[in-house]
């Protein structure tokens, strides 16, 4: 499971559309009409100002629809409408139209007559061409034509001087008309997932543009026009063919969010890290082999994502990134971390999974704000004692490493809720593990554990415990103190019997004891009243206690690979609830 947050979501959250705010406000008012059908609305045509007919299974609009002459707001989204009648344009006062999620393949040729239209949403239709008259909509401020089949904009589309928002994502655009350069009032422009390879040079005059999404196109270099967009705060260029970024990106003084994922970049320009307002960079899935030596100059950077690259060494200046909150460098070629790494005092989330790191610097204790630490898939054989100083840690994953033990200082991680140590070489746990009383999930499967400390019983908040694939021959009596445990994995050990306290696990719902050496179960197993799934395959059982029949919640009982006689099998089937699946 990917525990990181996708940078693209940040751009979506950051997106601000003035028209969308207006649309939502009016739609809230229009919902008073949502329960009235179209026929009822037409009977009171002159009194209809705001009409919501969304999701009404409409296949079209009648010719007399134009009698709604005072209509201001219309929502006909999520229907099955294939076209709008030509007289639709006679709705002279209409300002907001939402016809998204239909089957429209065209708009009325005379749509330009709708002189008061401010917001037009026709996303998720089948429109391949816009009528020329759309360029006459002098009041139009926002248009959403995303998820259509649009191949181009009309030549004079740039005449729409009032436009501040265009969403044309997921179409078939190959170029933009030169008149686009005239849209100098544009604030938001979405052009992702098209076939664009260049922008008109005059677009550099879009001095009010703050959001530009060009993801999923065919740009091989940063368009020069972008460098003139001085107000730009959000720039998304992911999934293009960029091989380099110009140093002139430093001209984007207001840039806050940059997404350049999934390109062919081998390096990042030093000028990028001199942008004083830059808050987030995502550059995963490129071909980066190093980071600029001045990376620490990015004083405002809070999120830095460069997963899935080829970075071998981190520059020492990384310690200067005092605002950095989230750092993702998984799936690279890192062998070690610089000593300055511990100076990242604001860091809350760190992902270094799937590198070649052999040890952590002792300075890691300086990461006093760290809450999430992911180190899985490295070659770490021991943890520094200073790890215990990271007292705010909530989630730690050090799975798939070469750990043989844990430091006693682990008792400093008292806030820890999730600890994943699977697939290491740990042979024993320190008594101090019992100090982690807030643990909910503990994964110790596929290690070399031969025993558990009695302090394991202190983990009273534990809900899931994985101990499968170890060498445990017994469990301590204190094991029964894990009163909140719901899922327990003990398969693949050497258990010969369970402790008397085992049946005190009254909240346990899932129990796997496959591939042990059990010859019997506790007679009072009936105390485990919430047990729903019980797997006992490949043990040495010949019989089950009578009390197994009192487990009324039991729905799955797996018993293959034991030594039950035919008579005992019949007895067990008769004991368990009728709706319990039993497999021998």
In this structure, what are the phi and psi dihedrals at residue 90, rounded to the nearest 5 degrees? -80, -5
Mean pLDDT for 335-363 is 97
Locate the domains of the chain by residue range. 434-584
| pLDDT mean across residues, the chain | 93
Rama region for 246: left / alpha / beta (φ>0; ψ in -120 to 50; rest): beta
Mean pLDDT for 463-472 is 98
User: Which band of pLDDT confidence, cut at 50, 70 and 90, is reported for residue 62?
Assistant: confident
The predicted-structure confidence for 133-162, as pLDDT tens digits, reads as follows: 999 999 999 999 999 999 999 999 999 999
Mean pLDDT for 570-576 is 96
Q: What is the DSSP code (8-state) at residue 319? A: G
Residue 52, classed as helix, strand or coil, is: strand
User: Which band of pLDDT confidence, cut at 50, 70 and 90, is reported for residue 27?
Assistant: very low
Question: Range with the lowest mean pLDDT among 4-8, 235-239, 313-317?
Answer: 4-8
Q: Residue 45 in contact with residue 62, Cβ under 8 Å?
A: no
Mean pLDDT for 118-140 is 98
pTM for this model (two decimals): 0.90
In this structure, what are the phi and psi dihedrals at residue 14, rounded to the nearest 5 degrees? -70, -30
Per-residue model confidence (pLDDT) at position 37: 63
Q: List C-alpha distances in Å: 162 to 95, 153, 247, 575.
A: 13, 17, 33, 77
Mean pLDDT for 263-280 is 97
The predicted-structure confidence for 298-321, as pLDDT tens digits, reads as follows: 999 999 999 999 999 999 999 999
Q: List C-alpha distances in Å: 252 to 267, 292, 301.
A: 19, 19, 15
pLDDT above 90 covers what percent of the chain?
90
| Exposure of 201 in the CB half-sphere (CA atoms within 13 A) | 0
Question: What sign results for the dihedral spanned by CA atoms 152, 158, 159, 165?
Answer: positive
In this structure, what are the phi and psi dihedrals at residue 235, rounded to the nearest 5 degrees? -130, 120
Spatial distance between the Cα atoms of 486 and 555, rounded to a whole number of angstroms: 15
Class for domain 434-584, per CATH? alpha beta
> Hey, what are 138's tokens?
């002098």
pLDDT above 70 covers what percent of the chain?
94
């Amino acid at each position: 499971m990917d525990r990181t947050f996708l940078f693209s979501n940040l751009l979506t959250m950051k997106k601000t559309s003035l028209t969308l705010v207006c649309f939502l406000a009016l739609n809230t008012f229009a919902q008073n009409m949502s329960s009235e059908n179209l026929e009822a609305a037409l009977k009171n045509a002159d009194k209809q100002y705001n009409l919501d007919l969304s999701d009404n299974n409409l296949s079209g609009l009648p010719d007399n629809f134009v009698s709604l002459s005072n209509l201001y707001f219309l929502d006909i989204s999520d229907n099955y409408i294939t076209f709008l009648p030509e007289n639709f344009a006679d709705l002279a006062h209409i300002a907001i139209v939402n016809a998204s999620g239909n089957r429209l393949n065209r708009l009325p040729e005379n749509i330009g007559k709708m002189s008061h239209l401010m917001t037009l949403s026709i996303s998720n239709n089948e429109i391949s061409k816009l009528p020329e008259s759309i360029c006459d909509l002098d009041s139009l401020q926002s248009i959403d034509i995303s998820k259509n089949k649009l191949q181009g904009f009309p030549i004079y589309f740039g005449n729409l001087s009032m436009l501040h928002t265009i969403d044309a994502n997921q179409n078939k655009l190959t170029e933009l008309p030169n008149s686009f350069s005239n849209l100098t009032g544009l604030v938001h422009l979405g052009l992702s997932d098209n076939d664009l390879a260049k922008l008109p040079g005059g677009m550099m005059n879009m001095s009010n543009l703050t959001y530009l999404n060009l993801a999923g196109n065919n740009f091989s270099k940063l368009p020069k026009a972008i460098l003139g967009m001085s107000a730009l705060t959000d720039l998304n260029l992911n999934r293009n063919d960029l091989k380099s970024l110009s140093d002139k990106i430093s001209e984007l003084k207001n840039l806050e969010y940059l997404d350049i994922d999934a390109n062919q970049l081998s390096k990042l320009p030093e000028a990028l890290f001199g942008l004083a307002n830059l808050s987030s960079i995502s550059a995963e899935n490129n071909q980066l082999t190093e980071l600029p030596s001045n990376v620490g100059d990015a004083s405002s950077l809070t999120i830095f994502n460069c997963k899935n690259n080829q970075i071998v060494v981190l520059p020492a200046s990384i310690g200067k990134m005092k605002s950095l909150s989230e750092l993702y460098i998984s799936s690279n070629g890192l062998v070690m971390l610089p000593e300055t790494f511990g100076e990242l005092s604001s860091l809350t989330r760190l992902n270094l999974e799937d590198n070649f790191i052999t040890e952590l610097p002792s300075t890691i204790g300086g990461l006093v704000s760290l809450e999430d630490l992911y180190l899985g898939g490295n070659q770490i054989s021991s943890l520094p004692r200073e790890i215990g100083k990271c007292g705010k840690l909530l989630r730690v994953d050090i799975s798939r490493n070469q750990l043989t033990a844990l430091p006693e200082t682990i008792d400093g991680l008292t806030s820890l809720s999730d600890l994943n140590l699977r697939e290491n070489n740990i042979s024993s746990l320190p008594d101090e593990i019992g100090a982690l009383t807030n643990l909910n999930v503990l994964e110790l499967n596929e290690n070399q554990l031969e025993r558990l400390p009695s302090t394991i019983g202190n983990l009273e908040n534990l809900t899931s415990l994985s101990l499968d694939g170890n060498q445990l021959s017994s469990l301590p009596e204190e094991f029964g103190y894990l009163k909140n445990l719901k899922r327990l994995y003990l398969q693949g050990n050497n258990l010969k019997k369970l402790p008397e306290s085992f049946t005190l696990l009254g909240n346990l719902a899932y129990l796997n004891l496959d591939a042990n050496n059990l010859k019997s179960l506790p007679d009072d197993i009936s105390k485990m009243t919430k047990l729903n799934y019980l797997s006992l395959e490949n043990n040495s059982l010949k019989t089950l206690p009578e009390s197994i029949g009192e487990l009324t919640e039991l729905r799955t009982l797996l018993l293959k690979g034991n030594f039950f006689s035919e008579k005992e099998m019949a007895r067990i089937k008769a004991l368990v609830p009728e709706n319990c699946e039993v497999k021998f």
